[in-house]
Amino acid sequence: MYYTIMRTLISEIIKKEGELVELSGWVSVRRDHGKIIFIDLRDRSGGCQLVFIGGNKEVYEKASTLRSEWVISVSGIVNKRPPAMVNPEILTGTHEVLVDKLEILNRAGELPISIDTDGYEIGEEVRLKYRYLDLRRSRLSKNLRMRHRMTAFIRSFLGDRDFIEVETPILTKSTPEGARDYLVPSRLEPGKFYALPQSPQQYKQLLMVAGLEKYFQIARCFRDEDTRGDRQPEFTQLDMEISFTDQEEVMALNEQLLTDLVKTVFPEKTIQEIPFPRFSYAEAMKKYGTDRPDLRKSKEDSNLLAFCWIVDFPFFEKSKDGGWTFTHNPFSAPKPEYLENLLAGKSIGEIQAAQYDVVLNGLEIGGGSIRNHKPEALRAVFSIISSKDIDSFRHMYDAFISGAPPHGGIAWGLDRLASLLLNEPNIREVIAFPKTGDGRDLMMNAPSAAGKEQLKELGIELKKKK
């Protein structure tokens, strides 16, 4: 009779004492002790100790050739370690596997970077060039798994409250929203371009016009910005929008989501104050000199989380040319008591937006607003900042005149929130394949030059700068 042993995850061996198991993974360390060889093996679930004895000559000799990061598969019996040999540092430290069969699946050469440390001591450019190796270190593997748990919790929380997740387009239209767009040339319509979305802002509002009422998305966003520290040209945000809502409902929902997320996924963390403190923009600037105050009572406590809300932002601010520009986005609604001023275009500097930001430990992690849903209010905003820009948003104006419900929402910077909750110094430590600060992908060598034929197909001719 033939039978196949199904692969066992390393973390499961403590439940299989005395059983024959098959394990697969990477060699971390080999230790030779005369007639016995110990191998530390790891897979996605953790690590364990393998034992090879001289009595099994063929397997023992093959084990003596193993090197770090070789990929192997073994089968053997799970035994309990003697009390003096227990390793309390690892989950499987009470057990080991006596190997009777070894298969070398792949050999590894000398690695260009060390992966047996947390990696902070290694230059970031080297780490990013060999990111597929860098991700093998336990710290980064844990970060990605915890980030997965965060997004899984968010999806469950919102799904239970009748939100639906909708994917919005990546190829879209270039519109003036504050940051510079990434442009994508169209081959079929030479001289015309798509843009990568700075956010799903317009699409999520159009979904409200479509009558979906409750939307969310774990969304990819793109902004062609100059180097700005803890920023990435592509990033991820939790995006949501609700119809027939108001500022208080949006803030209450998101406060509950953040609170439950921390308590469930990061139970070691302490939220300093619930409900979250709330400050007007003017109050925060006067009291703290910033609209992103760090309210922690002890900044030495890495597990202390001090959330707060900032509200009542100015709708407009003076632009460099002496005119007016929006402080958040042109789709925000004024607070109800300022609607008349907006429509009349008077006392512009005093108009406050129905906008709200959520701050954590001195960093903004999310922001949103109640939106203008009436076409005359949207037109008034553009008449204040620049009447010509309304043409770029004609589709929004046309949608609003078809019966748009009142709506509002928020977007979180998911990378930034994850880095704070995981006590990481920057967002690159919680992104699988990040870019450098100046937007380069050192692993894939991007951006790179396009071939002449590609450019010809797109109707693009490059000229050298003078």
Residue 382, pLDDT above cutoff 90: no
Q: CA 9, CA 13: separation in Å to the nearest integer?
A: 7
Average pLDDT over residues 82-107: 96
Q: CA 261, CA 336: separation in Å to the nearest integer?
A: 32
Q: What does the pLDDT read at residue 168?
A: 98
Look up residue 329 and give its two tokens. 């986005």
For residues 8 and 227, which has the higher predicted lDDT (pLDDT)? Answer: 8
Quick check: 443 and 244 in contact, CB under 8 A? no
Q: Which stretches does DSSP call E strand in 107-201?
A: 164-165, 183-185, 193-195
Look up residue 373 and give its two tokens. 């849903």
Residue 2, pLDDT above cutoff 60: no
Cα–Cα nearest to 235, from 222, 245, 248, 244: 222
Q: CA 329, CA 322: separation in Å to the nearest integer?
A: 19
Q: What does the pLDDT read at residue 175?
A: 84
Distance of CA 226 to the CA centre of its chain: 20
Q: CA 230, CA 219: separation in Å to the nearest integer?
A: 19
Local confidence band at 4 (pLDDT 50, 70, 90 cut-offs): low
Cα–Cα nearest to 412, from 176, 180, 251: 251
- Name the CATH code of domain 10-106 (choices 1.10.10.1100, 3.30.465.10, 3.40.190.10, 2.40.50.140): 2.40.50.140
Average pLDDT over residues 146-163: 98
How much is the pTM? Answer: 0.94
Cα–Cα nearest to 178, from 338, 317, 371: 317
Handedness of CA 300, 301, 303, 304 (dihedral sign): negative
Q: What is the percentage of the chain residues whose pLDDT exceeds 70?
A: 97
Cβ neighbours of 328 (radius 10 Å): 18
Q: What does the pLDDT read at residue 322?
A: 83
Asked whether the bond before 197 is cis by omega within 30 degrees of 0, the reply is no
Average pLDDT over residues 242-251: 98
Cβ neighbours of 112 (radius 10 Å): 9
Quick check: 355 and 333 in contact, CB under 8 A? no
Fold of domain 141-430: BirA Bifunctional Protein; domain 2 (3.30.930)
Cβ neighbours of 238 (radius 10 Å): 23
With a CB cutoff of 8 Å and minimum separation 6, the contacts of 448 are none
Look up residue 336 and give its two tokens. 């109800």
Local confidence band at 230 (pLDDT 50, 70, 90 cut-offs): confident
Q: CA 381, CA 373: separation in Å to the nearest integer?
A: 12
Quick check: 411 and 238 in contact, CB under 8 A? yes
For residues 244 and 386, which has the higher predicted lDDT (pLDDT)? Answer: 244
With a CB cutoff of 8 Å and minimum separation 6, the contacts of 96 are 48, 49, 50, 51, 78, 79, 81, 85
What 8-state DSSP symbol labels residue 307? Answer: E
Domain limits, CATH 3.30.930.10, in the chain: 141-430
Mean pLDDT of the chain: 94
Q: CA 259, CA 273: separation in Å to the nearest integer?
A: 10
Cα–Cα nearest to 361, from 311, 457, 293, 461: 293
Q: What does the pLDDT read at residue 328?
A: 85
Average pLDDT over residues 193-209: 96
Backbone angles phi, psi at 417, to 5 degrees: -60, -45
Local confidence band at 1 (pLDDT 50, 70, 90 cut-offs): very low
Average pLDDT over residues 171-178: 84
Long-range contacts of 336-344 (CB under 8 A, 24+ apart): 339/377, 342/315, 342/377, 342/380, 342/381, 342/384, 343/376, 343/377, 343/380
Q: CA 72, CA 112: separation in Å to the nearest integer?
A: 21
Cβ neighbours of 17 (radius 10 Å): 12
Strand, helix or coil for residue 418: helix
Number of C-alpha atoms within 13 angstroms, CB side, residue 307? 22
Residue type, 297: K
Poorest-pLDDT segment among 319-323, 433-437, 440-444: 319-323
Residue 240, pLDDT above cutoff 60: yes
Residue 177, pLDDT above cutoff 90: no
Q: What does the pLDDT read at residue 226?
A: 79
Residue 417, pLDDT above cutoff 90: yes
Residue 5, pLDDT above cutoff 80: no
